[in-house]
Amino acid sequence: MDGCCIRHSSTPCPPPNPSKALLDTVVVAYVQAWQPHLALQIFKEMKRRGFRPNLLTCNTLLNAFVRDPSTRPLLISREIFDDFMKLGVRPNASTFNIMIYGCCSKSKFKDALHLLGGMGEFNCVPDIVTYNTVLDAFCKKGMLNEARDLLVDMKKQGLSPDRNMYNTLVCGYCRLGSLIEAAKTIEIMTQHNFLPDVWTYNMLINGFCKDGKMVEAYKLRDQMRDMKLSPDVVTYNTLMNGCFEWTSSSDAFELFEEMGEKGVEPNSITYNIVIKGLCKEGKMGEAIETVRKMEEKGYAPDFVTYNTLIDAFCKAGNMEEAFKRMDEMIQKGLKIDGGAVNTILHSLCKEKKFDDAFKLLRCPSKRGYNFNEVSYNTLIMGCFKNEDVDGALKLWDEMKEKDILPNVITYNSIIGGLCKLGKTRDALNKLNELIESGLVPNETTYNTIIHGYCKEGDVDKAIQFYNEIVASSFKPDVITCTIILHGLCKDHKVDKALKHFRRWVSKGNAVDAISYSTLIMGLCKEGKTEDALALLAEMEEKKLETGHFIYNAIYCGLTEAGKAQEAQELLSIMVEHGKLADHSSLSEIGTSGLQREKSQEVITSETHQENDLCSSAYLKRVDELCDEGKLREARNII
């Protein structure tokens, strides 16, 4: 049959009385011509005529649909499998291997294991291919316990793992960072007379390099040589990348020279690793020289090379050179991806060169620049930081005109920008627009609106909004709780804040140091030191970090309330636990009539910490960050 006819035919038309053998041949021919759907129609014709296809035909058709990304592979494959079973075709091990592969490729491990367990009913015995297929899928998904169990089951069936299976397991352990287990697997592999090969060692070396364990990685390289294995370009690339990351460029260049001495030819990846390492150390002149050497060796710089250079020049503030590299990419016919353009846009916005950023965005399309939602997101955030609301909203409209769909991050940027400028009502409109577009708001979206209301001093609206979104199935997190606590405390509603906190905790929700410290500081400002002390005790009981500024806030509250005895007791605890008071609080000791000798002792002790920020500075900074909604940064300070 003419292959061209098969390739271009859209409706197969078999002869009036075709033989079974002819239809078998046609099914296989259509599959080989990349027309599995036409092959399926012929298969159905065979079924209609009551012909029993041969096993090769069935397996060929099954394999085509299992690997066809444009179909629902498992559903169609299962239908084919059921059909040829009804026609009396007995499956073999290859049939099951194909089906198991299909299940594993879609992470349907339960179905794969069910097929594996059912092979015996058809007198089919799982082979190395069967187990390797499932093992590889388990390892790629990080299911190492299941992989080990599978090996045990395999041994019970009288099959011994081969080198590929051990290598697959080593690779799986390395991906998860379980390097000790990977090394143990290599020992077991050796005990079973399967010597590790270069691929095995490369996997383990890569694992150690990613973990920063360069000494162990070098030992493995030496071990390879002891085993009469020659490190290849992958070995050297991995070690060089590790040196740039964890040790020094000199170590990396020693390896580069060693490659030449050992006759291992560097490839484009090698040069890109060197260029990236040099850029990371700010050695741009040497990086450019490496590009020249790379070209001399016949390796053309690719988009990875240029993206690395562009990113480095942008970080160095050398925008002229960054643009020069983009022009080179165009001249060489390389497609400029969003990464390169967005890197430059980000740097321009960071340097507040908004005119240049807009000029880049307005570049003619013939230059080949690829702008996406990240590009617009970057500029929108830049406009808000520059308090250019109109510019941000114009970009928003332009995005839609160009059919660049905003994602949740883009919406969060514009909602955050509007809230920061006190335009929470407008931000709420954007939230409604987000929901209408079919996107799902996340915690950041809702927390930003709540913080916007609190920042405007309208805590009641913040709580009303909070209650509405909780009622509509939103699950608030600890950041949501802390925003409301801070808003209430700032509005001098500490009793409400305490009730909200207690209600939150009673529902089993998580709280952290920043939640407690926000409330403690609010209580201390209102003179409610007893409640603050109770919360401090809770923090210590829960083993949450209690920074010395929290003690200081309570201490100041006690002294201002004239509770000299309680302040003295707290001071003793602070000294005992290393939560030393700052000089501003120690001055309170004198004004409260407490022991000056004790204060002098503490001041002398503090001279050894003169480079530390004082507690009052901590307290002020944490309060500022909470006010700005930057709760993660506040938590880091604590």
Model confidence over 150-173: pLDDT tens digits?
888 888 888 888 888 888 888 888
- The pair of three-digit structure tokens given for residue 474, joined into one six-digit string: 């939103």
What does residue 369 show for φ and ψ, rounded to 5 degrees? -75, 135
Cα 613 to Cα 488: distance, rounded to the nearest angstrom: 28
Is 10's pLDDT higher than 60?
no
Q: What pLDDT score was predicted for residue 8?
A: 42
Confidence category of residue 595, pLDDT binned at 50, 70, 90: very low
Q: What pLDDT score was predicted for residue 488?
A: 94
Torsion of CA 189, 191, 195, 199, to 10 degrees: 20
- The pair of three-digit structure tokens given for residue 212, joined into one six-digit string: 């920063």
Q: What pLDDT score was predicted for residue 163?
A: 85
Cα 60 to Cα 371: distance, rounded to the nearest angstrom: 44
| DSSP designation for 119 | G
Cα–Cα nearest to 148, from 159, 139, 157, 158: 139
DSSP 3-state of 117: helix
User: 112 or 589: which carries more pLDDT confidence?
Assistant: 112
User: 574 or 100: which carries more pLDDT confidence?
Assistant: 100
Cβ–Cβ < 8 Å for 119, 97: no
Superfamily of domain 372-476 in the CATH hierarchy:
Tetratricopeptide repeat domain (1.25.40.10)
DSSP 3-state of 204: helix
Widest distance between CA atoms in the chain: 114
Is 373's pLDDT higher than 50?
yes
CA 561 to chain centre: 50
| DSSP designation for 547 | -
CA 256 to chain centre: 31
- The pair of three-digit structure tokens given for residue 375, joined into one six-digit string: 């590009």
Cα 351 to Cα 315: distance, rounded to the nearest angstrom: 10
CA distances from 1 to 4, 30, 38, 44, 99 (A): 9, 11, 15, 20, 30
Average pLDDT on 438-447 reads 92
Cα 344 to Cα 369: distance, rounded to the nearest angstrom: 12
Work out the number of other CB atoms within 10 angstroms of the CB of residue 10: 7
User: 439 or 606: which carries more pLDDT confidence?
Assistant: 439
Q: What pLDDT score was predicted for residue 20?
A: 83
Cα 581 to Cα 63: distance, rounded to the nearest angstrom: 73
Model confidence over 543-566: pLDDT tens digits?
887 766 677 777 777 777 777 777
Is 568's pLDDT higher than 90?
no
DSSP 23-72: HHHHHHHHHHTT-HHHHHHHHHHHHHHT----HHHHHHHHHHHHT-TTS-
- The pair of three-digit structure tokens given for residue 610, joined into one six-digit string: 């003169």
What does residue 415 show for φ and ψ, rounded to 5 degrees? -65, -45
CA 335 to chain centre: 26
Q: What pLDDT score was predicted for residue 165?
A: 86
The distance in angstroms from the start CA to the end CA of the chain is 77
Is 439's pLDDT higher than 50?
yes
- The pair of three-digit structure tokens given for residue 181, joined into one six-digit string: 């287990």
Which regions of the chain carry the CATH code 1.25.40.10? 372-476
Is 481's pLDDT higher than 90?
yes
Which residue spans within 293-444 are E strands per DSSP?
none
Q: What pLDDT score was predicted for residue 423?
A: 92
Cβ–Cβ < 8 Å for 182, 173: yes
Is 600's pLDDT higher than 50?
no
Cβ neighbours of residue 77 under 8 Å, at least 6 residues apart? 62, 65, 66, 98, 99, 102
Cα 455 to Cα 419: distance, rounded to the nearest angstrom: 8
What does residue 336 show for φ and ψ, rounded to 5 degrees? -85, 115
Q: What pLDDT score was predicted for residue 184?
A: 86
Beta bridge partners of 227: none
What is the pTM assigned to this prediction? 0.61
**Contacts of 518-521 spanning 24+ positions with Cβ under 8 A:** 518/482, 518/485, 518/486, 518/489, 518/626, 519/485, 519/489, 519/494, 520/550, 520/553, 520/554, 521/489, 521/550, 521/553, 521/619, 521/622, 521/623
Average pLDDT, the chain: 83
Model confidence over 310-367: pLDDT tens digits?
999 998 889 889 889 988 888 888 877 777 888 888 888 888 888 888 888 887 555 6
Average pLDDT on 608-618 reads 41
Model confidence over 191-208: pLDDT tens digits?
888 888 999 999 999 999
Model confidence over 103-118: pLDDT tens digits?
888 888 899 999 998 8
3-state secondary structure 564-600: HHHHHHHHHHHHHHCCCCCHHHHHHHHHCCCCHHHHH
Give the DSSP H/E element, type plus range, for residue 217: helix 214-226
User: 638 or 456: which carries more pLDDT confidence?
Assistant: 456
Among the residues of 51-108, which ranges form H helices?
55-66, 73-86, 93-105
